[in-house]
Structure formats: structure tokens, C-alpha cells
Structure 1
Amino acid sequence: MPLTPEASGVFPIAPTPFNPDGSVDWTSADRLFEFYHGIGSDGVTVLGIMGEAPKLEPEESIGLVKRAVAKMGAKPIIVGVSAPGFAAMRSLARQVMDLGAGGVMIAPPTNLRTDDQITGYYAQAVEAIGTDIPFVIQDYPLTLSVVMTPAVIRKIIQDNPSCVMLKHEDWPGLEKISTLRKFEADGSLRRVAILTGNGGLFLDFEMERGADGANTGYAFPELLIDVVKASKAGRRDEAHDIFDAHLPLLRYEQQQGVGLAVRKYVMMKRGILSHDAQRKPGPGLTAAAKAEVDYLLGRLAKHDPRAKI
């Protein structure tokens, strides 16, 4: 299914499952995408930053996309295609679209500093991959060190009709969402989907500011779905109550450097992944950290039975 500006809901960022020897755990990959489909995810993103995409061989990347397409029941698959050069970006983008992906996500390289450099880069990226491929802007200044103002995002969207979504991952970023929706209301910005990241850490208020959903990872993506559905239905207290119960684990998982290790550890304990391994280089969790996560899970289980693992 192609990605469109009307996209909404939850598109989890899929971690790449590995065996302890560093090989891709294809059995867990199948189970992971079946899980995302079964809980009611609206799509999925593969080969994202938290998917350890730079550590994969090209054929492994293609293999993950094939499995996502096969298991997600025709729901849109977003594929991260960011690359140092446009040749590699174009090659991967064209291949995954031919395999049935719904669109691609493009992050800016870390050396961009001026507004003109940023807008020029996206114009060149679109020229490289083709204007027929729907794409997502990844706005992630905390990791990428590229600051996109709302005006810059508006120009990228207005100049490139194939842009259908913004992955908003600024922090703090609530005012940016409000500004973009104001641009839309005054007619200076066409409608695109806004899905948010940062592990869901601000999802409760991001939805209230005008986000359409979440495009992020968390070891309990069902929580993201719960918050998005309740918020869209106007059940504000319900959305905040379930979000608040998960907030300690969300916060712990958002630690720089070990966040992916936490996520994989919990997903292993849930039986979604067979192992919590990362492909080297990648830090694991110490015994003390695992004990802290287990403690948080026990506390969460008092409010959400899905954490009784």
C-alpha cells in the first residue's frame, strides 16, 4: 500500500533481530512483523536508525523489507534509505518500492547547517530517487545535529509534492507541531501526515498538538496504539492515564547509548525476539541494568497486564 498524506496511527520502528553470533535472526524477524500486524499497527518502518541499518549488508536489508511486506498484510512499509551518497539511496529506494514498500524515509546528513543547504539537499534527494516515490522527512536534530525550522520544513514539503509525511523527532518540539498546523490552517502549507518519534516520550501531548500518530519504537507498541486511539477519540484522561503508567519504562528506554539494548531485552522477555543481541559495535545491558528493567516491568504490571512477563 503506498504511503499517502492521509497516513495516521502507529508505525513502529522495527529493530533488527540478531543471533548471538551477529547473524540476522530471520525467524524472529518474521515473528516481529507478525506481532506488529496482529496488534493493529497501521504500518511499520524498517531500516531506521534504531534498526541498526548501517550495520546490515545490502542483501540483509532487502531480506528484511521482503519479510515486512509479506507479514504486514498490505499495510504501508516505510523504509529508511538514508545514505552518504545519492547513488546508494536511489538503488535501495527503487529496489524496495519494487518489492512493495509504501514509501521511503530520508534523514539529512549531519554536515548540513544552513536553510538553503537543507532544502537543497532534499531537492537533490528527490531528483535522485524519483518524484514517483513517496518520502518522509526525518527531523531528528538531537542525533543528526541538523536543525530544521518550521519554515524550512514547509519549503521542503511545498517544493516536493512527493513528500507525504514528516517524522517529527525534535525535542522540545511541541511548538513546532503547532506552528506547522497553523501553516496548514492559513493555507501556506499543504496537508501532510505528522508522526512523532523520540520513543513516544512526548506522545500524549504531541497528539493534542496535532500529530497524526507515532512513528517510533517502544517495547510495548500497544501502548502507543492505545494513546493514539484514545486521544483521537477525545478520551484525554484515558490517554494520559495509560501513558503515565508506562512513562518510567519509556524514560528508561530513552537513554542515549543503551536505549536499543533496553528495548531488545524487553522484547526478548516478551517472546517477540529470541535474543536481545545487537550487531557489533553495540553495548549490552549490565546485570544491574537488567535488574532495574525487571523492577520497572513489575511495577508496570500492576497497571497493565501486558507487562506480566
Structure 2
Amino acid sequence: MNRPYSGIWPVAPTPFNPDGTLELEGMKRVLDCMIDQGSDGICILANFSEQFLISDAERETLSRLCIEHVAGRVPVIVTISHFATEIAVQRAQFVKDLGAAMVMMMAPYHGALMKGTPKQTFEQFKAVGDVGLPIMVQDAPLSGVELPVPLLVQMAQEIEMVKLFKIECAGVAPKLRALIAAGGDAIEGPFDGEEGITLLADLDAGATGGMTSAMIPDQIKPVIEKHLAGDREGATAAYARVLPAINHENRLCGFRSAKAAMVEGGVIKSDFCRHPIYPLHPEIRSGLMDLLRPLDPLVLNWGK
């Protein structure tokens, strides 16, 4: 089967100054660090970029800065999710004009109760697809919208630009397996998400890539590369090595983990998160560093 998309495509954190303003020079350093980490692509303005804490004007500033600074070194994927189809289309056109390689989007939702039906979801993805950028479908619990395999397959087969699928709902591996079996070559990029917490099982199910945080992509990349090369034993060993840190991130830290590691390694100056997000508890942060240091990831040394 044709699977042109693979590798590690982490989400870039958004650095803020201690007063809550965007730290734009820090954003450039984040991107440079991620490229040095071996990222095959970089996603911006995603949930792990704190997109829900960023204004529309800041989105434009960050989109322009990131795409210009990366300057084609790796593909830049921009998250454009919005409940309003017209706004999602406008966001897609804006980043296409800037030179983005791809967009990522969740199904339309707003709050806990306003959720797109399968028909509305298909129509929104079709409208964004008409802009002409490849789309990664983000099947995320945050949206609260169920995206059954038949709907995902229909979008892949009937919307030319729907090519990639970041599956991070409960039971990722069986869903990936069913999606690939039903969708065939139309599923050009089956990806794992959620920090890689089930990465090995998802690779066994047919995933060709992962979208993790920017904390340790250099340490997670070998898992994917070894598995795709047929070395499952090597992939298992590489995964077992990093899993405690991934578990700590997934269960206790979320998007704050990459920023904490980047502060520790001198990539950025502050791991400030906008209210109502609270900073990591000092013991949780210390525990994360205790798990990261034996791995000797690039992030802890990049800025020193």
C-alpha cells in the first residue's frame, strides 16, 4: 500500500514571557531545536501549542513567524480547527498563502454539546479541502465528536486533500487497523498521537508516523524508524526505554512538559502558561527531569 507520510512530526509549544506575552525569539529557538531533534515535520497551533489560549491576531503572528523561520527545512502543519466552516476555510487559505505544507483539524465542535453531525463534519472537511492543502484529520477526545471508521474512509476516498489521520481516541490500535483495512491506499498517513503513549501497538496496527510533543522526539524517532524497517525487537527496546517519561508526560504534565524541558535545556527562558492553566507542581516537574536525564535527550543540552 502507498504510505507516503511517515516519521515523527511533533507539536511545537508556544513560549510566553513571564508577563504572558508571546516570546517570539523563543519561538524561533523552539523551531530550531525541533529541527535539530530530527523532526520530520512540525505542527503549530495545536492543542499542545495551547491554541485555546491564543488570540486570532496571535495565531496570524505565529503562523507567519513559524513558516518563515522554518523556511522549508521541514514541512509545517498548521492546526486550523474551528466550529465555523467559513473560519476554518479562511484559516486554511491564510496559511496556504504563507507556504504551509498541510493543515490539521478536528471535527467541528463548540463546548460539550455543540457537535458536528457526520454530514456537517464531511461538509466542513470538503470545504477546507477545496483550498488545496493536504489535511490531517485529528480524531481527538477533546472535540467530543465521534468519528467512526466509515466516515473517515468516506472522507479519505471522496475528499482528495484528506490524506492523513491522527488517531488519539480510546482504542487507537484497533481503530487504526480497521481504518487501514477499509481505506486502503486512501489512508496515506495513519498516525499515532497522544504523546506516543500507545505508539508500539499503533505501529503494529499499521501507523507510519507519530505526532508527539516536542519533549523528546529524538528519542521517540528510533522507535518508529526501527519498526518501519522491520526491527520490531529493536523498536520494542527503544520504546521501553522512553515509556516512563512518556507516561509521566501523558498522565501528569500534558503540554507543560515540553516547555519545562526546554527551560531546563536553555531553549526558552520561561515555561509560563496562561491562566487558567497552573504551572507544574515542583515535585511533578522534578520527577519529569529525573526520568528525562538518563535518556540524554537533545532538549536538555540544546541551549547550554
Settle same-fold status: TM greater than 0.5. yes
Question: In the alignment, which residue of structure 1 is the partner of 2:208?
Answer: 212
Match of 1:279 among 274, 286, 291: 274
Give the SS at the match of 1:15.
coil
Distance 2:42 2:53 in 1: 20
Give the C-alpha shift of residue 154 in structure 1.
0.7
Give the C-alpha shift of residue 70 in structure 1.
2.8
Distance 2:170 2:262 in 1: 26
Question: In the alignment, which residue of structure 2 is the partner of 1:94?
Answer: 93
Distance 1:7 1:119 in 2: 27
Distance 1:34 1:212 in 2: 24
Give the C-alpha shift of residue 171 in structure 1.
2.2
Question: In the alignment, which residue of structure 1 is the partner of 2:296?
Answer: 305
Distance 1:294 1:133 in 2: 38
Residue 263 of structure 2 corresponds to residue 264 of structure 1: no
Give the C-alpha shift of residue 113 in structure 1.
6.3
Residues 76, 101 of structure 1: 8 Å contact kept: yes
Uncovered stretches (5+) of structure 1, i.e. residues with no partner: none
Letter of the 1:160 counterpart = I
Question: Larger deviation: 121-130 or 175-184?
Answer: 121-130
Question: In the alignment, which residue of structure 1 is the partner of 2:29?
Answer: 31
TM-score scaled to structure 1, two decimals? 0.87
Residues 227, 240 of structure 1: 8 Å contact kept: yes
**1:164-209 deviation per Cα after TM superposition (whole angstroms, max 9, x unaligned):** 1111112221111111221245xxx623211110111111221121
Distance 2:98 2:196 in 1: 29
Distance 1:69 1:180 in 2: 31
Distance 1:147 1:172 in 2: 13
Give the C-alpha shift of residue 112 in structure 1.
6.4
Percent pairwise identity: 24
Sort the Cα spacing of 1:59 and 1:241 in 2 relative to 1 into closer, same or farther, 3 A.
same
Residues 28, 273 of structure 1: 8 Å contact kept: yes
Give the C-alpha shift of residue 130 in structure 1.
2.6
Give the C-alpha shift of residue 90 in structure 1.
2.0
Give the C-alpha shift of residue 131 in structure 1.
4.5
Uncovered stretches (5+) of structure 2, i.e. residues with no partner: none
TM-score scaled to structure 2, two decimals? 0.89
Residues 22, 280 of structure 1: 8 Å contact kept: no
Distance 1:126 1:279 in 2: 34
**1:30-76 deviation per Cα after TM superposition (whole angstroms, max 9, x unaligned):** 01111122232111110101111122222321222223223334122
Distance 2:118 2:62 in 1: 30
Question: In the alignment, which residue of structure 2 is the partner of 1:64?
Answer: 62
Give the SS at the match of 2:286.
helix
Residue 53 of structure 2 corresponds to residue 55 of structure 1: yes
Distance 1:11 1:95 in 2: 22
Letter of the 1:132 counterpart = G
Aligned residues: 295
